[in-house]
Chain A
Amino acid sequence: MHAVETLNLSKKYGKTDALRGLNFEVEEGEIMVILGPNGSGKTTLLMILCTILKPTSGIAKVVGIDVAKEGTKVREVMGIAFQEARGFWRHKPSSILRFHASMFDIDPTKRQDLIDQTMKDLELWESRDKLFMHLSGGQAKRLETAKVLVQRPKLAIFDEPTSQVDLRGKRKIWDKIKELRNQGSTIIVATNEVREAEYLADRVTILHQGQRVVCDTIPHLKDAIAGGDVVEVDFEDPVSARLSEELKSLGGSVALSPQGNQMRAMVSRAEDWVPKMTSASYNQGAKISSIKITEPSLDDVFMQFTGTTLEDKP
């Protein structure tokens, strides 16, 4: 049995298709990262899994329970940290966490210790006497994560867990999410941040325009890119049209910067391609100032499979 499974899942808002026949599985105990730009259907999928939204058609199951038919049972095993923090405005963080913990039957004898520890771990301890409405965006976001960490659900969902959080805070949240997985939870993280996906993911699902484009481990996704190496070349001056054509004819996928003096090429073997490129550049009189060879990023993977970048509108 999958921890999460959807079959032909669709959701329409009026005439807009947010999800279009989505098939998606998450295995028990893994961290599945859903990667996609804004509007790709990530949040809609999560809202359906946590039973806030009803699907227009198709099936979604959490630990084998149909979310549309047995919502209350699903909610007993699932916890979500929303993209926009949601809390009682006039309550303090610890009382928000106490309410949440009691709704999910967290052992009363351990409840307060767990809440205190989680607040310390997520650097909320100093803000424990502030009302929710006086927390900064980052603090409210951390409190949102803290709810799920205190709850320790079978399925934990995080929707862009580190947006508005500073760099140090991001790493702390990521480590706590991994810790939660190690304690036995299955995790879904929706994000459009490549670094977050690379740090957390056991597997990545790329969503684009409400459909699953691909799902695999990060190494497999990177291997699946035509080529496999990324070569970034800086020229001292803009490259001539002739040289540009010649470089493109060497194979791989070559893109020039708008200024014309930086080039990014995805090639199958950098060790074969770079000598040809340097030789062609020398013959055309173009001076190279630097060459950098890297493996493709998830951005490249996304570009390869969708033809667009994570920053682009869907």
Chain B
Amino acid sequence: MSELSRLFHVARADFSYFFRTKWLMAVLISLSVSDMLVTALVYRGLMNFDYFRFLVPGIVVAGLFSAATDTGRRIWLALREGVVQYYMTLPIRTSGLVVAYILSGGLGGIVYSSFLLVIALAVVPHQGIVNALLIIPFMFVLSTGIAGLSAFLASISRRGEIYWVYAQGLQVSMVTISTVFYPAQTIEGFLPGPVATIARYNPLSLAAGALRDSGFGGNPLDLSVLGTLLAASLPLAVSGALAYWVILRTIRLRGKP
């Protein structure tokens, strides 16, 4: 078996772990679907359908975010339960292990958000299903970036509670300062200019925007937006991979993370 197939093997094992956490999956799916339902039913009299059309692609991206951050939880558990040490005895390079984890994090995010995308395409009129499919590889890179960020947070967390605090902090900052749930104009109206700029270039905003405009709106794909999405996501994936690699190296030197 080649190094590459071993890498995919480890990634697949970790990826399957994500879907074995049934209760977590149930919570994630119910949260995402209930967001759609609440907007569609409860707020029906308060908001118009345009907001629902705006929100649903955002929920797909928020789902991707939640699923990709689960990578950090799995890494944290593997570090503390010693499974990482088992991985370190397998015939695969340390860099291969790191890539496998980031890859499986990316896969978890994209597979989960693809389920949501199917639901979204069923409940919201769409004009660019091919565009939506073409955006998926870019969303995969975004997912690896978020997986990388959560790997970084897991690597610096001494305790499980601390990891959750970091992960929630990440969620609050990345989802709140974004155009996932409200348009950029709303942010500009209430928050200082620099915050609005951050929200505009937040990779979650870019992905949600691309889905709205091209996937559901039917506009041609804006390559500059997708390029910016890649440019914003890749450094996150690299920094997370680096942090995880440092942790594995620390284990080799000190015997513990």
Contact assessment for A76 and B91 in the assembled complex, using a CB-CB cutoff below 8 Å: yes
* Contact pick for B13, options A52, A76, A82, A88, CB 8 Å: A88
Contact assessment for A78 and B89 in the assembled complex, using a CB-CB cutoff below 8 Å: yes
Interface of B is mostly: helix
CB distance from A111 to the nearest CB of B (A): 12
CB distance from A265 to the nearest CB of B (A): 43
- A-B pair count, CB < 8 Å, reads 66
CB distance from A223 to the nearest CB of B (A): 38
Q: Name the B residues within 8 Å of A13 (CB-CB).
A: 254-255
Q: Name the A residues within 8 Å of B255 (CB-CB).
A: 13, 44, 47, 52-53
Contact assessment for A105 and B9 in the assembled complex, using a CB-CB cutoff below 8 Å: no
* Contact pick for A82, options B21, B77, B85, B91, CB 8 Å: B85
B20 within 8 A of A: yes
Centre residue among A52, A80, A105 by max chain B CB count within 10 A? A52
B253 within 8 A of A: yes
How far apart are the CA atoms of A82 and B91 in the complex, in Å?
Answer: 16
CB distance from A132 to the nearest CB of B (A): 10
CB distance from B111 to the nearest CB of A (A): 17
Q: Tell me the A67-109 residues at the B interface (CB within 8 Å).
A: 71-72, 75-76, 78-80, 82, 84, 86-91, 99, 102-105
Report A107-124 CB contacts with B as 1/0, cut-off 8 Å. 000000000000000000
Q: Tell me the B136-163 residues at the A interface (CB within 8 Å).
A: none
Count class of interface residues, chain A:
20 to 34
A86-B20 CB under 8 A given contacts A52-B251, A54-B252, A54-B253 = no
- Residue positions of B touching A, CB distance < 8 A: 1, 3, 6, 9-10, 13, 17, 20-21, 77, 81-83, 85-86, 88-93, 251-255
- Residue positions of A touching B, CB distance < 8 A: 13, 44, 47, 50-54, 71-72, 75-76, 78-80, 82, 84, 86-91, 99, 102-105
